[in-house]
Amino acid sequence: METDATADDLGKVAAKLPGTQLKAENAVYENEDPAYRVFVDSLNYLDADEIALIVEAYRFSERAHLGQKRLSGEPYITHPLAVAGALADWRMDAQAIVAALLHDVMEDTAVSKAEITRRFGKQVADLVDGLSKLEKIEFQSYQDAQAENFRKMLMAMARDLRIVLIKLADRLHNLQTMAPVRPEKRRRIAQETLDIYAPIATRLGLNNISRQLEDLSFKQIHPMRFRVLTRAVKAVRGNRRELLSKILDGIRSTLHEANIEAGVFGREKSLFSIYHKMVEKQLSFSQVLDIYGFRIIVRDVPTCYLTLGALHALYKPVPGKFKDYIAIPKGNGYQSLHTTLIGPYGTPVEIQIRTQGMHHLAEEGIASHWLYKDSEESGADLQLKTHKWLQSLLELQSSAGDSSEFLEHVKVDLFPDEVYVFTPKGKILALPRGATVVDFAYAVHTDIGHRCVAARIDHELIPLAAELANGNQVEIITAPHANPNPAWLAYVKTGRARSKIRQFLKAMQQDGSSALGEKMLNHALQTLGVNPAEIPATAWERVLGVSGKKSRREIFADIGLGRSLAAVLARRLVAHEEVFQTEPSVSTPLIIRGTEGMAIQLAPCCQPIPGDPITGLLRKGQGLRIHTHACQVARKLRNSEPQNWIRVDWEPDPGQLFDVRIMVTAKNVPGVLGRVATGLSQAGVNIEHVSMDKGKPGLCTELHFLVQVSSRAHLATVMRSLRRIPDVVRIVREQE
């Protein structure tokens, strides 16, 4: 049954609406809802017309959800009301609260975006649309659907941050009321919250929300462990009450003697953070000593450092446990001084020292922009940091191939732990713990990342895979013709670096595949006796229409990647067309240089070089891989995939160097490695890598070289020159 407002409810609203006449049909509610009354009372910071709009949105949502029940049996309207109430507690604007009340109407009812636009305006409709799932699209799996829904939400969030605040309030209320939901769904939603939503809350500085999301998710995923830890923490709280009181009194007394005005509060670790520490460091509960800590709120920044000095005089600090997040704030804007002291009876005591403005920012994060008007300076800084992060999401979105890849990139960036490093000019960059030199290069600029070849950390040359540490000064060395290496994907940590590398490699693969595909199609046409230049435009238009491709380049790329067969396409181009056709030529091999790029790769198992008899394996989506005829791997694959092999041959003079492995067995005498290396150098060979295996002690040593040669003939010359060295016993080319 449709309901209206009570006179008492509307009386409260009317008191805030001077000169506003409420319609008669809205003057009476048949049922009073205490939650609604509390909600309306919490809107007293808004203007009268804004409150009227929110009341209208509540009634609209109530009518739209009429008859719908939550699994608990409550009317569905209780959920959007709770979400809107959370936003009112944050003192959000009227549009956000209206969107919170309507956030499920597009998804769960027949209400359209156009209707919301007409009733409440375009901004509200865009907010609701950003929160609505993609119900009308069919996805291959639940994971794909969730990834695309998350992608949609983040893209909307990049346009309007209020969307994520509504979503976090929505997720928090859902977790608080999950008792009637079936266990497997509870665990799935809780795990998704730990993977995505709690880290987003942390990234936006919403630590209070993040802790609640983590603890509620922990309770759903590991209910027994949650109960055991809850009991253990309560027991410890009682056992340590006297000790904690002694520490608290000591801190207050010391600050009073130093004439420092401060609020001192006990701080208890959340259950999830205790559990996470136990798992991460493989500790028992009794070994987690820092369950309790203290937070000190002071007047200004100088007083923070005065307080730190006073506390270090009271108790000895633990070396290496001091962190200054005031001078160098975290990426989400968090600021505090952190120190760990050795308290009475050797008990470690964690202390956080901050100003009131820092405390607001630490607890409410981006929401403090609406909540506290007295911390505008730090709030503006957080807004700027958040804006930069959201812009990075848009960059990831534009370069990600699909929703799952985008979600993977974003997950990488939702980290709580950071290292702070410096550019040569003294600029500070925050990167995730474990980030490498390559991550740093891409954080500076995409072109720097693409062209980096080496780096100096604190003026010392180091490899690109080296992990960065706090305080490092990093200088990137670039080369004009350098390109990203696919191996970088194995160790980069940031979503930006991973995304940019993949984007570059995809473009390279597309270009190389297109060139290879064109060469293969031309070869197939010549085999049919047709000059490729004489294929009329009408033939290409017909083939493009049938294939659904937009350009010849896409067709060439499909051929180069093995998705289409060159011979089949050649016959389609020739069919029904008046082209000059000679006698079909005898099938000739496809000529390659071996350095065409990612589309043509030399198999690492046999490392073919010009002069080796070769064959090509064309696999769908992988391009052309070249093997030697004698390769054992190729022989096995030829039996299982006979249809994927094509005839290939070397271009007469590729003009490039190729990697090849050789093993030199030499007498185990002093200086033998130097003599062999000198012999290789005199033969005009570049040594890429060398390693040693000892054979029988005192007799021989096996030296493994990765060298670069121009051809098989060049390799033979090199091997002959090495055999002239008296200490060399045997030389072989290493192939699988």
Domains and CATH numbers, the chain: 7-177 (1.10.3210.10), 226-379 (3.30.460.10), 430-485 (3.10.20.30), 503-650 (no CATH), 658-733 (3.30.70.260)
Nearest CA to 442 out of 433, 452, 434 is that of: 452
User: How do the residues of the chain divide into helix, strand and coil, expressed in percent and rounded to 5?
Assistant: 50, 15, 30
Contact (Cβ atoms closer than 8 angstroms) between residue 119 and residue 60? yes
Tokens 């006179």 belong to which residue?
Answer: 7
Cβ contacts of 273 within 8 Å, gap of 6 or more: 211, 214
Does 612 score more than 80 pLDDT? yes
Write the DSSP symbol of residue 697: T
What rounded mean pLDDT belongs to the chain?
Answer: 79
Q: Over the stretch 165-188, which tens digit does the pLDDT of each residue have?
A: 898 999 999 999 988 889 899 998
Length in residues, the chain: 736
- Which stretch of 89-103, 279-293, 669-683 has the lowest confidence by average pLDDT? 279-293
Burial of 585 (0-12, 13-18, 19+ CB in 10 A): exposed
What pLDDT score was predicted for residue 694? 57
User: What's the per-residue H, E or C state across 156-223?
Assistant: HHHHCCHHHHHHHHHHHHHHHCCCCCCHHHHHHHHHHHHHHHHHHHHHCCCHHHHHHHHHHHHHHHCH
Three-state secondary-structure class, residue 551 = coil
Contact (Cβ atoms closer than 8 angstroms) between residue 730 and residue 699? no
Torsion angle in degrees (nearest 10) through CA of 574, 579, 581, 587: -30
Distances in Å between the alpha carbon of 248 and those of 236, 286, 307? 17, 22, 14
Three-state secondary-structure class, residue 71 = coil
**631-654: string of b/e by CB count within 10 Å (b at 16+)?**
bebbeebbeeeeebebebebeeeb
Alpha helices in 240-367 (DSSP H): 241-257, 271-281, 301-314, 356-364
Contact (Cβ atoms closer than 8 angstroms) between residue 311 and residue 342? no
Nearest CA to 616 out of 658, 591, 648, 587 is that of: 648
- Contacts of 694-700 with CB under 8 Å at 24 or more apart are 694/668, 695/665, 695/668, 697/668, 698/668, 699/667, 699/668, 700/665, 700/666, 700/667, 700/668, 700/729
Annotated active-site residue in 56, 107, 381, 511:
107
> Which of 46-60, 198-212, 520-534 shows the highest mean pLDDT?
46-60
Alpha helices in 365-456 (DSSP H): 368-371, 376-399, 403-413, 437-444, 446-451
Burial of 16 (0-12, 13-18, 19+ CB in 10 A): middle
Beta strands 316-317 and 590-592, pairing class: unpaired
Q: Over the stretch 503-551, which tens digit does the pLDDT of each residue have?
A: 887 777 677 677 777 778 887 787 777 777 778 788 888 888 777 777 8
What pLDDT score was predicted for residue 19? 37
Q: Over the stretch 99-153, which tens digit does the pLDDT of each residue have?
A: 999 988 988 888 888 999 999 999 899 888 877 764 444 444 556 666 666 666 6
Q: Over the stretch 335-351, which tens digit does the pLDDT of each residue have?
A: 899 998 888 877 788 89
Q: CA-CA distance, 685 to 478, in Å (whole number)?
A: 25
Per-residue confidence at 305, pLDDT binned at 50, 70, 90?
Answer: very high
Q: Is the dihedral of CA 12, 16, 21, 22 positive or negative?
A: negative
Burial of 544 (0-12, 13-18, 19+ CB in 10 A): middle
Does 158 score more than 70 pLDDT? no
Is 160 considered catalytic here?
no
Q: Over the stretch 703-729, which tens digit does the pLDDT of each residue have?
A: 889 888 888 888 999 999 898 898 899
* Through-space distance between the first and last CA atoms of the chain, rounded to whole angstroms: 78
CA atoms within 13 A on the CB side of 332: 27
Q: Over the stretch 632-646, which tens digit does the pLDDT of each residue have?
A: 888 888 887 777 788
State if pTM tops 0.95.
no
| H or E stretch covering 719 | helix 712-723
Helical packing angle, 183-192 and 162-176, nearest 10°: 150
What pLDDT score was predicted for residue 553? 80
Annotated active-site residue in 50, 93, 108, 649:
108
Q: CA-CA distance, 151 to 153, in Å (whole number)?
A: 5
Does 698 score more than 90 pLDDT? no
Distances in Å between the alpha carbon of 404 and those of 140, 250, 389, 701, 715? 12, 53, 19, 50, 46
Does 483 score more than 60 pLDDT? yes
What pLDDT score was predicted for residue 527? 74
What pLDDT score was predicted for residue 12? 45
Per-residue confidence at 695, pLDDT binned at 50, 70, 90?
Answer: low
Q: CA-CA distance, 217 to 215, in Å (whole number)?
A: 5
- How is residue 671 written in tokens? 């200086």
Q: Over the stretch 313-328, which tens digit does the pLDDT of each residue have?
A: 998 998 888 889 888 8
Alpha helices in 536-597 (DSSP H): 537-547, 552-560, 566-574
Is 108 considered catalytic here?
yes
Q: Residues 575-598: what's their mean pLDDT?
A: 61
